[in-house]
């Protein structure tokens, strides 16, 4: 009887230790993700109509881009690879880029070669990854320039970007 009294607690201790996370925890973000939504929300205290127009134009472009292109992201440890292909010819990448990243809590920091360390809050639910990031004047002006939108950009403009990917 005394042997059973000693073996039962020992069994439970072994069970608890064998079920621990250990040091080899895999980040849930690791793997392949496909972008299906990208939107911005812009505001300006002085020229809200310009910010609204710019927001509308960027979001229309982003929606059209996702109709024509597949954007695939590969998260692997600390390396992010982004590959963009035409939907009509997925065998030929239109663009490829690699960045390092790190995760701290609910924040992912992507080391962009142009903008440096860009921080995004992230949420993963039901195989959907949603990134929320802040946009400053420089990023907004660069986006507008890349899209060929030629309007005066308010100096106090600010905004957010939301990117949604699925597995």
Domain limits, the chain: 32-166
Per-residue pLDDT tens for 109-136?
999 888 889 999 999 998 999 999 999 9
Q: How confident is the model at residue 5 (pLDDT cuts 50, 70, 90)?
A: low
pLDDT over 50 at 17, yes or no: no
Backbone angles phi, psi at 129, to 5 degrees: -105, 120
Under DSSP, is residue 34 helix (H, G, I), strand (E, B) or coil? strand
- Residues 81 and 96 sit within 8 Å (Cβ to Cβ): yes
Give residue 25's pLDDT: 58
Give residue 13's pLDDT: 45
Quick one: DSSP state of residue 19? T
Per-residue pLDDT tens for 64-93?
999 999 999 999 989 999 999 999 999 999
What percent of the chain is modeled with pLDDT above 90? 74
When the pLDDT of each residue in the chain is averaged and rounded to a whole number, the result is 88
pLDDT over 70 at 23, yes or no: no
The helix or strand, by DSSP H or E, that contains position 123, with its residue range, turns out to be strand 116-125
- Residues 129 and 164 sit within 8 Å (Cβ to Cβ): yes
pLDDT over 70 at 156, yes or no: yes
pLDDT over 80 at 10, yes or no: no
Q: Of the given ranges (59-63, 113-117, 122-126, 140-144), which has the lowest mean pLDDT?
A: 113-117
Give residue 113's pLDDT: 83
Q: Of the given ranges (35-39, 105-109, 114-118), which has the lowest mean pLDDT?
A: 114-118
d(CA 81, CA 150): 31
Give residue 112's pLDDT: 86
Fold of the CATH domain 32-166: Lipocalin (2.40.128)
């Amino acid at each position: 009887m005394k042997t059973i009294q000693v073996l039962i607690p020992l069994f439970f201790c072994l069970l608890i230790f064998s079920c621990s996370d250990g040091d080899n925890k895999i980040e849930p973000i690791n793997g392949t993700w496909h972008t299906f939504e990208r939107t911005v929300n812009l505001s300006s205290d002085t020229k809200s109509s310009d910010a609204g127009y710019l927001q509308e134009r960027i979001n229309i472009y982003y929606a059209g881009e996702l109709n024509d292109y597949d954007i695939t992201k590969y998260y692997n440890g600390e390396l992010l690879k982004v590959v963009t292909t035409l939907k009509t010819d997925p065998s030929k990448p239109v663009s490829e880029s690699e960045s390092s990243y790190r995760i701290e809590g609910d924040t992912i920091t992507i080391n962009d070669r142009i903008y440096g360390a860009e921080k995004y809050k992230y949420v993963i639910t039901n195989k959907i990854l949603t990134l929320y990031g802040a946009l400053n004047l420089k990023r907004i002006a660069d986006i507008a320039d890349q899209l060929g939108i030629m309007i005066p950009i308010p100096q106090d403009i600010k905004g957010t970007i939301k990117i949604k990917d699925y597995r």
